[in-house]
Structure 1
Amino acid sequence: MYDIIVIGAGHAGIEAAMAACRMHKKVALVTLDIQMAGSMPCNPSVGGPAKGIVVREIDALGGLMPIVADQTALQFKMLNTTKGPGVWSLRVQSDKEEYKKQMASILQNTKGLTVIEDACTNLLIENQRVTGVHLKTHGNVLARAVILTTGTYMTSTILRGHTATVSGPEDQPTIQSLSAGLQEHGVRLFRLKTGTPPRILRDSIDFSKAEKQPGTPEFFSFSETTKPEDVLSFDRQEICHLIYTTPKTHEIIREHLQDSAMYSGLVKGVGPRYCPSIEDKLVRFADKERHQLFLEPESKSLETIYLQGFSTSMPIDVQEQMVHSLPGLENAKIVKYAYAIEYDAIDPLQMKPSMENKVIENLFTAGQVNGTSGYEEAAGQGLMAGINAALKIDGKEPFVLRRDEAYIGVMIDDLCTKGTKEPYRLLTSRAEYRLLLRHDNADQRLLEKGYQLGVVSKERYEQFQKKMETIQKTKELLQEVHIKPTESINAYLSSLGFDPLQHGCSALELLKRPQVTIKGLQSWIEQNIDASVARQIEIEVKYAGYIEKAKRDARHLQAMDQKKLPEGLDYLHMDNLRLEARQKLDQIRPSTLGQASRISGINPSDIAILSLCVKPHKK
């Protein structure tokens, strides 16, 4: 008998199991092979636009992905630095083999966590409440809650050309019986598709025909606990390369379009809009003369290069022609051929904001089984599912992040309010308060919450408090530093295109000007300031007006989300509601007035009627 059983040791399963253990729950993690924990069957990378901020949020809530991603990174790169801080995002090129090894080791040595290598064939459900799982070898194992994180392994099929093979990613077995068991108890499933590009032997590539893509020289990390000495120095980091498709590549793809599993009629599921196959790119963007591709290393222990942007489900012989048409890959040797994979996912509209299923009590779901794509989205969901499963067992209120508090909150709200018909991917454009949800302030937004929940240690919390004290004292120092209109300061301002100072002002006041930095003012400040502290203060000072406006807007959202709707409302027979509103509200069953307002098709007059049903707010 366990408190919680987690099915699957992918990125969602790992975070779910570890969060529950930190909250002192007895946890069993069921996986086919523990050495595949944290596997990266597609991109050998972590982070990127919006996703990198999610990893920072996972760190602020005590998660594991940020720490291991830092320690096993081959390259660090901060993206979008020429734009505003609301879209800055860290991405690392990962050593996928080292990442798996570290994850497996941590899981096997975590107190309170039992790893069971077995296949889950079904859930044990009584009166629409999950009571455990049935394992192929170990039989029935009981638990008070179950977290399902099966990723793309549920009734999955590998598709290549005109061939369909029943299999999970990386030749792992698929789970066939879970889908039928879920559907039998009223869970809605739908088919999704994703894919992966070919892997190329490194020594068979002529890199002189590609553009070098180095990382960022400055120190950045996903975890606040990571120190510069914990990661590869810039001069030891790997270099990625950029190439482009050629007219010959496009000609080959168009000639063989009907040989692709996607266009032959073999694929039934919906593919990812924001990470399409190369043949889909040619069809959707027919006017583009070329598409960029990145050559990325997978691991120091592997001789393979990942061909980013060249996902395809073409037959093997056509893939050979396609790859050999690319610059530098004329003589390339393909080590692993590309494929598409189709799998069952659960309709996220049947999920509560706490990640618990609405149909089966005490069943939580996280990751790609909820219709998302990406390791980072999966890890964020897994973390929240682990926390909320532990809270449910303890009889406590669920932990739900608002849209103005975290990208994780945006993602979960999108899923359980709007649903998805294609693999969901986080984007900065999905977050209306993205200036509040930045890379630099994830710990300020979430770390105290993590400490109160018990997923962040006291030591980590005390370090955070010291950091905040340092930032405050530094701001006070900058306010006290009086800069006079001298020749040297005016020369500095002139170099940035500003008029000379006519009167003296504080260093903090001067920082409001674009391009003026603490580093640039260092000779007048006469005190060394940590780079990360400097970045934090510069953003707060330069964007103060915009940040305050975003906070005002967020307070309105917060007020709506505090107005809870009763669980048993009979929407279908509610007077004065439009028929469309009745149907959508009955399907989604929002937990708050704020969530109801974000449902597509619900208008202000519907919200006015619903407001009469709101529970009195407890102070």
Structure 2
Amino acid sequence: MFHVIVIGGGHAGVEAAAAAARRGARVALVSFSRDDIGQMSCNPSIGGVGKGHLVREIDALGGIMAVAADRAAIHRRMLNASKGSAVRGPRVQADRRRFRTSVQAALAGHGVTVIEGEVSGLLIHGAAVAGVALADGNTLAAPAVVLATGTFLGATLFRGLEQWRGGRAGANASDRLAGQVRELGLAAGRLKTGTPPRIDGRSIDWSAVVPQPSDDTEWSMSMELAAKSLPQLSCAITRTTGRTHDAIRAGLNHSPLFAGSIEGRGPRYCPSIEDKIVRFGDRDGHQIFLEPEGLDDHLVYPNGISTSLSAETQDAVIRSIPGLERAKVVQYGYAVEYQYGDPRRLSSTLEHGDLQGLFFAGQINGTTGYEEAGAQGLVAGANASAVGLGLDAFIPDRAESYVGVMVDDLTLQGVSEPYRMLTARSEYRLHLRADNAITRLGPTAIRLRLLDEYRQSLVEERLRQHADASDALEQEVSAGELGLQGSDRKSLAEWARRDDAIAFVRSRLPAGPGAEEALDDAQYAPYLERQRNEHRNRQRDSMAIIGSDFDYEAVPGLSNEMKERLRASRPSNLDQASRLAGITPAALSALHFALVRSAA
């Protein structure tokens, strides 16, 4: 008998299995194919703004995604590097094969039992899950099961007028389990995602595209690795053209997206190229990022042209793009529509409210992306292990992590389209930086036994560096000691907010990334304090009146989506606004600030 059974070997599944195992659970992971565990089904990248924050938090909680990304990284780029540290997003291009191999090795190292096969149904005793039934007639018993089925649950693939069953190209769909999920009333509907065609890199005219080299600076996703371990490749940028857009419009009559074949909504922030052209037809071009898929692989991933158009149209589209005029398509793009559950029926531990011991994680909760899936898997796995072992639950706090923001958003607001992590979703984003994930979440990870001995030592060292630097920042020095005019005497933390004093302040701090985090804390301190005060005031002023003629267009920081929702509902106070479906805490923060300002 196992303590935890995980269904699915994608990013949610592997993090769930690994987290449960780290807490001492006996874990079985069931996957259609042992070799496909840890597969990067879509883009060959990990991280980005918001997403990179999640990866760092997964790492701080002992997860495996960041380490696998570092070991497979063939291109590194710190997004928003010229901006403040709160919005910088680490992102790596990964060698697909090496990433998958690293994930599988990590699972083996955790002692996870991998079972190759199909789960045909859940075993249920009363109001609790008791294990799973396999298609070969065998059963597995466990008091906790994690559903991490990704895009495989009741999935259909689309390309032009073609349709076939599968969760991704060359793989099966989980239809029998999907049927039971529907019968139990656990299904909410269908969502859609997609992938672009893959191109033979040897057929690309690299002289006609803009190169995007890997960063020169040394940084890593994980606390474990500090330097590049593989040769770095260059990515490149090109753009669609008027010819591209004409080819897409000519092929729309064979598009399942516009022919009504697909009923599920796709991700707002990563639409298919045909959707972009229909919705933004006035633009003269859209960027395409050409991303190599591996050191020993000639395939290139053209990020930005996800599509379900026919193969013939995809050929025309590709060959209308500068640098790709003679490109050879190796695998055509397609869309996948799949079944998901309503995350509002989950608790903050990601346990389902109708079946004790059943946890949902990843795209089954209506999210999109490896990073979102991995973070949910870690939460679900940590809590699934608690069922059988009597351990403390892990309930991530939205004030302390983007993991907490995501879980809170999903379980309270639900989804109407695939959910993607954005830094704008958090009202605490100045505090939730990618660089301080270890100091934010390390103590929680230690308390919950989510770290091995080596990781725990790294966290403790980071915390020591941060504490020592924080103490040093309390030291008071005069302007003269800094070589500045005046007689001011301030703490190093206060001087750290002046560009002409940063070098001196840094020279007084101990070395190490923990010290850099403390320095960032000092620089952001006035804003962090204001943010905390706003939060306290917002709680106190939740009944603040919103006039019927209030102008939402004049509210800085309020997205167009939030403005539309508020205009449609016309809440009379902040409390009513907070209960509107889809209204984010960040939107409420902006609205509260505008109301206070207008009343002053």
1:444-484 per-residue CA deviation (whole Å, 9 max, x = no partner) reads 11111111111113443343333333333345446558466
Q: CA deviation at 1:503?
A: 3.0
Separation of aligned partners in 1, 2:536 and 2:512: 31
Does the Cα contact within 8 Å between 2:60 and 2:437 map onto a contact in 1?
yes
Does the Cα contact within 8 Å between 1:146 and 1:363 map onto a contact in 2?
yes
Q: Could you say which residue in structure 2 is the equivalent of 1:574?
A: none
Q: Could you say which residue in structure 2 is the equivalent of 1:463?
A: 458
Separation of aligned partners in 2, 1:443 and 1:515: 26
Q: Could you say which residue in structure 1 is the equivalent of 2:29?
A: 29
Q: CA deviation at 1:95?
A: 0.8
Secondary structure of 2:179's aligned partner: helix
From 267, 275, 284, give the equivalent of 2:270. 275
Separation of aligned partners in 1, 2:23 and 2:355: 23
Does the Cα contact within 8 Å between 1:413 and 1:595 map onto a contact in 2?
no
Q: Could you say which residue in structure 2 is the equivalent of 1:254?
A: 249
Call closer, same or farther: CA 1:481–1:86 in 2, change over 3 Å. Answer: same
Q: Could you say which residue in structure 2 is the equivalent of 1:81?
A: 81
Greater CA drift, 466-475 or 148-157: 466-475
Separation of aligned partners in 2, 1:556 and 1:140: 54
Greater CA drift, 238-247 or 126-135: 126-135
Call closer, same or farther: CA 1:479–1:128 in 2, change over 3 Å. Answer: closer
Write the mapping of 1:363-512 to structure 2, written as runs, cut at 5 A: 363-396=358-391, 398-477=393-472, 480=475, 482=477, 485=480, 501-503=485-487, 505=489, 508=492, 511-512=495-496
Residue identity in the other structure for 2:50: A
Separation of aligned partners in 1, 2:430 and 2:294: 35
Call closer, same or farther: CA 1:442–1:553 in 2, change over 3 Å. Answer: farther
Q: Could you say which residue in structure 1 is the equivalent of 2:175?
A: 176
Q: Could you say which residue in structure 1 is the equivalent of 2:530?
A: 549
Q: Could you say which residue in structure 2 is the equivalent of 1:563?
A: none
Write the mapping of 1:547-586 to structure 2, written as runs, cut at 5 A: 547-553=528-534
Secondary structure of 1:354's aligned partner: coil
Separation of aligned partners in 2, 1:29 and 1:307: 32
Q: CA deviation at 1:325?
A: 0.2
Separation of aligned partners in 2, 1:36 and 1:595: 47
Q: Could you say which residue in structure 1 is the equivalent of 2:13?
A: 13
Separation of aligned partners in 2, 1:178 and 1:320: 36
Q: Could you say which residue in structure 1 is the equivalent of 2:46?
A: 46
Q: Could you say which residue in structure 2 is the equivalent of 1:231?
A: 229
Call closer, same or farther: CA 1:293–1:357 in 2, change over 3 Å. Answer: same
Does the Cα contact within 8 Å between 2:22 and 2:110 map onto a contact in 1?
no
Separation of aligned partners in 2, 1:601 and 1:65: 32
Write the mapping of 1:95-174 to structure 2, written as runs, cut at 5 A: 95-111=95-111, 113-137=112-136, 139-174=138-173
Separation of aligned partners in 2, 1:335 and 1:321: 14
1:241-267 per-residue CA deviation (whole Å, 9 max, x = no partner) reads 011111110111112222111112211
Separation of aligned partners in 2, 1:433 and 1:453: 24
Q: CA deviation at 1:127?
A: 1.9
Secondary structure of 1:377's aligned partner: helix
Q: Could you say which residue in structure 2 is the equivalent of 1:63?
A: 63
Separation of aligned partners in 1, 2:110 and 2:137: 22
How many residues are treated as equivalent by the alignment?
551
Separation of aligned partners in 2, 1:601 and 1:513: 39
Call closer, same or farther: CA 1:328–1:475 in 2, change over 3 Å. Answer: same
Does the Cα contact within 8 Å between 1:60 and 1:447 map onto a contact in 2?
yes
Q: CA deviation at 1:287?
A: 1.9
Q: CA deviation at 1:75?
A: 1.3
Greater CA drift, 27-36 or 458-467: 458-467
Does the Cα contact within 8 Å between 1:124 and 1:134 map onto a contact in 2?
yes
Q: CA deviation at 1:121?
A: 1.0
Separation of aligned partners in 2, 1:596 and 1:15: 37
1:65-108 per-residue CA deviation (whole Å, 9 max, x = no partner) reads 11111111111111112333221111111111111112122323
From 512, 516, 523, give the equivalent of 1:535. 516
Separation of aligned partners in 2, 1:49 and 1:71: 21
| Identity among equivalent pairs (%) | 39
Call closer, same or farther: CA 1:502–1:23 in 2, change over 3 Å. Answer: same
Secondary structure of 2:519's aligned partner: helix
Call closer, same or farther: CA 1:533–1:481 in 2, change over 3 Å. Answer: farther
Does the Cα contact within 8 Å between 1:159 and 1:261 map onto a contact in 2?
yes
Call closer, same or farther: CA 1:300–1:517 in 2, change over 3 Å. Answer: farther
Secondary structure of 2:143's aligned partner: strand
1:558-587 per-residue CA deviation (whole Å, 9 max, x = no partner) reads 999xxxxxxxxxxxxxxxxxxxxxxxxxxx
From 340, 344, 347, give the equivalent of 2:339. 344
1:125-167 per-residue CA deviation (whole Å, 9 max, x = no partner) reads 2223211111112522111111110100111111001111112
From 600, 611, 614, give the equivalent of 2:580. 600
Separation of aligned partners in 2, 1:315 and 1:456: 47
Q: CA deviation at 1:353?
A: 1.2
Does the Cα contact within 8 Å between 2:191 and 2:265 map onto a contact in 1?
yes
From 494, 499, 521, give the equivalent of 1:515. 499
Q: CA deviation at 1:406?
A: 0.8
Q: CA deviation at 1:109?
A: 4.0
Q: CA deviation at 1:48?
A: 0.6
Q: Could you say which residue in structure 2 is the equivalent of 1:190?
A: 189
Separation of aligned partners in 1, 2:89 and 2:220: 11
Secondary structure of 1:434's aligned partner: coil
Q: CA deviation at 1:231?
A: 2.9
Separation of aligned partners in 1, 2:540 and 2:576: 13
Residue identity in the other structure for 2:357: N
Does the Cα contact within 8 Å between 1:433 and 1:554 map onto a contact in 2?
no
Secondary structure of 1:460's aligned partner: helix
Taking only aligned residues, the RMSD between alpha carbons, in angstroms, comes to 2.6
Residue identity in the other structure for 1:179: A
Separation of aligned partners in 2, 1:511 and 1:306: 46
Q: Could you say which residue in structure 1 is the equivalent of 2:553?
A: none
Q: CA deviation at 1:521?
A: 3.1
Gaps of 5+ in 1: 491-499, 561-593, 604-619
Does the Cα contact within 8 Å between 1:152 and 1:368 map onto a contact in 2?
yes
Secondary structure of 1:74's aligned partner: strand
Q: CA deviation at 1:269?
A: 1.1
Q: TM-score, normalised by structure 1?
A: 0.84
1:360-416 per-residue CA deviation (whole Å, 9 max, x = no partner) reads 221101001111000000000000001111122234553211211111111111111
Q: CA deviation at 1:598?
A: 4.8
1:4-61 per-residue CA deviation (whole Å, 9 max, x = no partner) reads 1100111011011111111111111101112111111111000011010111111111
Residue identity in the other structure for 1:410: V
Separation of aligned partners in 2, 1:484 and 1:405: 35
Secondary structure of 2:211's aligned partner: strand
Call closer, same or farther: CA 1:388–1:553 in 2, change over 3 Å. Answer: farther
Separation of aligned partners in 1, 2:78 and 2:434: 10
Gaps of 5+ in 2: 542-573, 584-600
Q: CA deviation at 1:298?
A: 0.6
Q: CA deviation at 1:507?
A: 7.8
1:175-217 per-residue CA deviation (whole Å, 9 max, x = no partner) reads 1111221122221331111000011101100111111112322
Does the Cα contact within 8 Å between 2:376 and 2:407 map onto a contact in 1?
yes
Q: Could you say which residue in structure 2 is the equivalent of 1:214?
A: 213
Separation of aligned partners in 1, 2:577 and 2:400: 18
Q: TM-score, normalised by structure 2?
A: 0.86
1:306-364 per-residue CA deviation (whole Å, 9 max, x = no partner) reads 00001111111111010000001000000110111111111112211111111222110
Does the Cα contact within 8 Å between 2:493 and 2:523 map onto a contact in 1?
no
Secondary structure of 1:2's aligned partner: coil
Secondary structure of 2:435's aligned partner: coil
Does the Cα contact within 8 Å between 2:22 and 2:452 map onto a contact in 1?
no
Separation of aligned partners in 2, 1:402 and 1:109: 29
Secondary structure of 2:257's aligned partner: coil
Q: CA deviation at 1:515?
A: 3.3
Does the Cα contact within 8 Å between 1:160 and 1:339 map onto a contact in 2?
yes
